Structure 1
Amino acid sequence: MLAENFNLTAYCQRIGYTGELRPNLATVQALMQHQLRSVPFENLDVLAGKPISLNPDDIVAKIVGRQRGGYCYEVNGMFAMALQALGIPYQFVAARPMFYPMKRPRTHMALLVTLDGAEWLCDLGFGSYGIRAPLRLDVLETPIPQGCDTFMLSEEGGDIILKAQVEGAWAKQYGFNRCPVEWIDFAPANWLNSTHPDAVFTQKPLVVCFTANGRNILFGDSFKQVDAGITTQRTLAPHEQAAVLEEHFGLRS
């Protein structure tokens, strides 16, 4: 799905990466962490009533050209373009979010990347309890610390389940299988997430950006900062939101 306007050098400049570019795990992990810290997960265009385009050229123009972020299809799509430019095999998977009280459709997009004969889960678009580095798919029931978070992959009913440790307990985040999914298959989910009145993205601002030791989260008028496991939170007045978006998420109106 490489866009005609994708340029690997421009992408690296956008995410602040100046290291080596090789088709190996070290490069993939470094690119993933740099993108997570510079390209926020955000739904501001959804709230503004703007269509969320899945055209690869539009994604590049938005994230690289206009210095914006996006939600899972956009940020994971952007990362897929970088993988393709490096010659790294990958496939899209459709994942079912599992933190809701009721069963939800498989509307989340993630990536399975093949490196050194193994498959790795990469995901740069899951918001607060998203992984911070690739997870090897054949390492199950094993806690994997990533910064201030700890994750684990399990297998249930033919699905691989991503779990995060939340307040001392394992909380299911989403489940997926290895069935390959094509880019166009996410069009209905994109439409639902960007237009349905019950979708979380249509209701209030949701912006997440990772930091070296945690993450910054804006949800509605609540601004939360997690740093080395310590959480601070405050309520923003309407006039404060623009400054917080620029200072902590690199987003300008």
Structure 2
Amino acid sequence: MSFNEAYRERIGLPFETELTVTNLPEVLEKTAWAIPFENFRILNKTSLEISKENLRHKILDEQEGGLCYELNPLLYYFLKDSGFSVSLVRGEVYNAAEDKWSNTGRTHAAVIVHDDSGDYLMDVGFGGNLPLTLVPMTGDLVTSSNGEFKVTRLDTDYGDHVLEVKVKDKDEARRIGYAFSAVPLVHVEDEMNEIRHLIETHEKSKFNKSPLAVQLLEGGSQTLTSSSMTIWEDGEKTKEELEYEDFVRLARERFNLHHVFEDRGEG
């Protein structure tokens, strides 16, 4: 099975579906519903170097999820294989609740697709904040089932654009999700492995300390940590406190993630 076919099978996209910019939002939705945002291999210390082959093995063959520097390169390779002109870019996540940048460096990766109709930001690696649609680089506001999204030209220490997000049922107003540079990366795998190293080792990284899995659902989202399970469904939030054994069970049952911890060595 080719990489393209394996990606389609993983997300439930028929092999015969011809892709254009018009139906790429369907790819984003199906990817978000099928592949969780998760960091289990970091905590297990079994992470893989970023390459097309390793991404296929981990996410398409082994049915795992990943973080932005895995999920968005996976999408990038799929789009390239599908005939699109695409670039990977880097940026810095903004924590609106604490009113500060992540302080881990430019550790967010995203995709830009270049089309005759314009350039569009695409992202399948931003947890529960995914646009689920193409966000035009022109500054036009777009909406999807997950909220409102807009790319704005703004010079920061981390790039020349920002993605603004207003997640449905969660945000009262648009906020900065991350800043990024629109300059395409040249050495893609080197850059992604640099991000991987920072996320795995940086003292400010929130992904090297405790397990996290986030997945969008058709009617909301689900978030799992080692101590709680939170589900948003039709605008209603439920949160359940968990014992560690429940975390392992829900990781398998709700996220189809079987590479969980054998003990409490969570970082």
- The normalised TM-score by structure 1 is 0.90
Counterparts of 1:49 and 1:115, CA distance in 2: 39
Matched, 1:54 2:55: no
User: Contact conserved, 1:23 with 1:88, CA < 8 A, in 2?
Assistant: no
* Alignment correspondent of 1:161: 162
Deviation at 1:51?
2.9
Cα distance change on mapping 1:197 and 1:139 into 2, 3 Å? closer
Deviation at 1:68?
0.6
1:1-253 to 2 correspondence within 5 Å?
Answer: 6-18=2-14, 20-99=16-95, 101-103=99-101, 104=103, 105-140=105-140, 142=141, 144-157=142-155, 159-165=160-166, 166-182=170-186, 183=188, 184-253=190-259
Cα distance change on mapping 1:71 and 1:25 into 2, 3 Å? same
Deviation at 1:80?
1.1
Q: Secondary structure of the residue that 2:128 maps to in structure 1? A: coil
Deviation at 1:50?
1.7
In angstroms, what is the RMSD of aligned CA positions? 1.9
Q: Give 1:214's aligned amino acid.
A: G
Query: Higher mean Cα deviation, 204-213 or 24-33?
Result: 24-33
Counterparts of 1:96 and 1:76, CA distance in 2: 15
User: Contact conserved, 1:6 with 1:57, CA < 8 A, in 2?
Assistant: no
User: Contact conserved, 1:148 with 1:228, CA < 8 A, in 2?
Assistant: no
Residues 167-191 of structure 1, C-alpha deviations (whole Å, 9 max, x = no match): 3122211011221113122322210
Q: Give 2:60's aligned amino acid.
A: V
Residue ranges of structure 2 left out of the alignment (5+ in a row): 260-267
Q: Give 1:41's aligned amino acid.
A: F
Counterparts of 2:222 and 2:216, CA distance in 1: 6
* Alignment correspondent of 2:263: none
- The normalised TM-score by structure 2 is 0.86
Q: Secondary structure of the residue that 2:48 maps to in structure 1? A: coil
Residue ranges of structure 1 left out of the alignment (5+ in a row): none
User: Contact conserved, 2:225 with 2:247, CA < 8 A, in 1?
Assistant: no
Deviation at 1:101?
4.2
Cα distance change on mapping 1:172 and 1:250 into 2, 3 Å? same
Deviation at 1:124?
0.4
Cα distance change on mapping 1:161 and 1:180 into 2, 3 Å? same
Counterparts of 1:79 and 1:6, CA distance in 2: 14
Deviation at 1:19?
6.5
Counterparts of 1:148 and 1:82, CA distance in 2: 23
Q: Secondary structure of the residue that 1:82 maps to in structure 2? A: helix
Deviation at 1:60?
0.3
User: Contact conserved, 2:139 with 2:153, CA < 8 A, in 1?
Assistant: no
Query: Higher mean Cα deviation, 217-226 or 36-45?
Result: 217-226
Q: Give 2:62's aligned amino acid.
A: R
Calculate percent identity across the aligned residue pairs: 23
Counterparts of 1:167 and 1:66, CA distance in 2: 34
Deviation at 1:206?
1.3
Residues 59-115 of structure 1, C-alpha deviations (whole Å, 9 max, x = no match): 101111111111111111111111011110000111111116444321100000012
